[in-house]
Amino acid sequence: MPTVAVICGSRSDLPTLKGCFDALDGYDIAWEASVISAHRQADALHAYVAEAEASGVQLFIGAAGLAAHLPGVLASLTARPVIGIPLDGGSLGGADALYAVVQMPPGVPVATVAIGSAGAKNAAHLAARILALSDPALADRVAAFREEQAGKAELRIDPSA
């Protein structure tokens, strides 16, 4: 049973989401992914969210480019947390999608991450942190990731060497 549902607007979005899928796997978070366009398949998106909630999905990640309404529509259909990834497929380099995803009206929140592949990775890391609030074992894995990341970033230069 997936804990996280990742939905994107087009098959063309899937390569950018690889980092998201890999990071979710790294945390051992059960996920499923679907391509369902908010613009082209509105009815299917409504039905999917209802099914996903019924099957126990706790958090949704929506990813889309151009006039990226998918994450916002997800947030209109569920009270569970929604993370939005603006994708950079269009001629505006993702600024179009960023504005569409981040500028939600009050009361319908989408936690918006960075444009493109960095955002895709951070969507998974943010999901892990949210889910870790009620999952101590996952909280340990989040802590381990942070330690590992800090270790990789550390650099000390000895001027006498």
Q: Which is nearer to ligand RP5, 29 or 64 (CB)?
A: 64
CB of 59 to ligand RP5, least distance (A): 19
Query: At residue 81, what is the residue type?
Result: P
How far, in whole angstroms, is CA 52 from its chain's centroid?
Answer: 16
Tokens of residue 118, six digits:
């960095």
Complex with ligand RP5: residue 65 or 81, whichever CB lies closer: 65
Alpha helices in the chain (DSSP H): 18-26, 42-54, 70-77, 95-102, 116-132, 136-153
> In a 10 Å sphere around its CB, with 0-12 CB exposed, 13-18 middle and 19+ buried, how is residue 49 labelled?
buried
Minimum CB separation of residue 63 from ligand RP5 in Å reads 7
Nearer to ligand RP5, 71 or 128 (CB): 71
Q: Quote the tokens at residue 8.
A: 């994107």
Q: Measured from the CB atom, is 100 or 131 closer to ligand RP5?
A: 100
105: Cβ–Cβ under 8 A, 6 or more apart, which residues? none
Q: How far is the CB of 151 from ligand RP5 (least distance, A)?
A: 35
Nearer to ligand RP5, 8 or 115 (CB): 8
Q: Which amino acid is at 66?
A: L
Which residues make up the interface to ligand RP5 (CB under 6 A)?
8-10, 12-13, 37, 64-66, 87, 89
Nearest distance from C-beta of residue 109 to ligand RP5, angstroms: 20
Residues β-bridged to residue 112: 84
Rounded to a whole number of angstroms, the CA Rg of the chain reads 17
Q: Considering the complex, what minimum distance in angstroms separates the CB of residue 71 from ligand RP5?
A: 10
